[in-house]
A and B are shown apart, each in its own frame.
Chain A
Amino acid sequence: MSKPPENAPISFFLNGSPLSLSVAPGRRVVDLLREDLPLTGTKEGCGTGECGACTLLVDGLPMLSCLMLAAQLEGRNIETVESLEKDPVGEKLITSFEEKGAVQCGYCIPGMEMTALALLRKHPDADREDIRKGLSGNLCRCTGYVKILDAVEDTAKTLKAPKEMP
Chain B
Amino acid sequence: MNPVLFPRTKEMLLSMVKAYPEARFMAGGTDLLVALRQKQKALPPLIGLERMAGMGDILKEGEEISIGAACTLREVASHPLTRQHLPLLCQGAASVGGPALRNMATLGGNLCTASPAGDTLPALFLLDARLDLLSETGLRTLSMEAFITGPGRTALLPGELLHRIRISIPQNTPIQHFEKVGNRNAMAIAVASLAALIRMEQGLVTEARLAWGSVGPKVIRSSEAEAALMGKPLREESLKEAAFHAQKAVQPISDIRASADYRKTVSASLLQRLILYRDSDDKGEQS
Contact across chains for A137 and B43 when beta carbons are under 8 A apart: no
Tell which of A6, A26, A49 touches B101, judged by Cβ atoms closer than 8 Å: A49
- Please name all residues of chain B whose beta carbon is closer than 8 Å to the beta carbon of A94 when the two chains form the complex: none
- The answer to whether the Cβ of B37 comes within 8 Å of any Cβ in the partner chain is yes
Query: Is B104 a contact partner of A137 (Cβ separation < 8 A)?
Result: no
Say yes or no: A63 contacts B104, CB within 8 Å. Answer: yes
Contacts of A61 in B (CB 8 A): 74, 100, 103
Closest residue of A by beta carbon distance from B28? A67
Q: What are the residues of chain B within 8 A of A69 when measuring CB–CB?
A: 4, 29, 33, 46
Q: Please, which residue of chain B has its CB at the minimum distance from the CB of A55?
A: B100
A72 with B1: in contact, given A49-B97, A64-B101, A136-B185 (CB under 8 Å)? no
Is A138 within 8 A of B50, CB to CB? Answer: no
| Bound complex: CA A135 to CA B74 (Å) | 15
CB-defined contacts of A63 to chain B, threshold 8 Å: 100, 103-104
A115 adjacent to chain B (CB < 8 Å): yes
Among A24, A68, A136, contact of B186 (Cβ-Cβ < 8 Å): A136
Kindly list chain A residues whose C-beta atoms are within 8 Å of the C-beta of B50.
Answer: 72
Please tell me if A41 contacts chain B, counting CB pairs below 8 Å. Answer: no
Bound: A137/B6 CA distance, A: 28
Q: Which of B33, B46, B98 has the most CB of A within 10 A?
A: B98
Say whether B100 contacts A62, CB under 8 Å.
yes
In the complex, what residues of A have CB within 8 A of residue B187's CB?
50, 136-137, 139
Give the secondary structure class of B's interface.
loop
Q: Specify which chain B residues have a CB less than 8 angstroms from the CB of A50 in the assembled complex.
A: 187
Q: How many residues of B contact A (CB 8 A)?
A: 27
When distances are taken between beta carbons in the complex, the residues of chain A under 8 Å from B101 are 49, 64, 137
Between B28, B48, B101, the greatest number of chain A beta carbons within 10 A of the residue's beta carbon is seen for B101
Chain B residue contacts of A67, Cβ below 8 A: 28-30, 33-34, 104
Q: How far is the CB of A109 from chain B (nearest CB, A)?
A: 15
B48 close to A72 (CB less than 8 A): yes
11 A/B residue pairs, CB under 8 Å, sorted by A:
A4-B42, A8-B3, A25-B1, A49-B97, A49-B101, A67-B30, A67-B104, A68-B104, A71-B48, A137-B98, A137-B99
Give the 9 A-B CB pairs with smallest separation, nearest first: A137-B98, A136-B186, A6-B1, A71-B4, A25-B4, A62-B100, A26-B43, A61-B103, A136-B98
Interface residues of A (CB under 8 A from B): 4-6, 8, 24-26, 47-50, 52, 55, 58, 61-64, 67-69, 71-72, 74, 115, 133-134, 136-139
**B contact set with A: CB distance below 8 Å:** 1-4, 6, 28-30, 33-34, 37, 42-43, 46, 48, 50, 74, 97-101, 103-104, 185-187
